[in-house]
Amino acid sequence: MIFDVRRKLSYLVGQEGEEVVSEELQELDPVHYAVLNDFLLPSRGSLDTTQVDHIVVSNYGIFCIETKAYKGWI
């Protein structure tokens, strides 16, 4: 029971963190930047797909951002 509560809390904190980053990325100039959130890509691993939190495409490069919404060592 406690494990389920911790897992749900961790999921909610992660979702909130992704939303905060997504809102900040929306402030980028849309003429120069395209922002993709919660993007699924095909995977060659044991899963069919893999998920990337945020992808920013611009003339300066392609940036993949994985959001972590907690403190401490990752």
Per-residue pLDDT of the chain (74 residues; tens, 9 = 90+): 555 766 666 666 667 778 888 999 999 999 999 999 998 989 887 879 888 999 999 999 999 998 876 667 76
Write the CA distances from 52 to 34, 37, 38, 39, 42, integer angstroms. Answer: 15, 8, 6, 5, 11
What was the pLDDT predicted at 64?
94
What was the pLDDT predicted at 68?
79
What was the pLDDT predicted at 9?
64
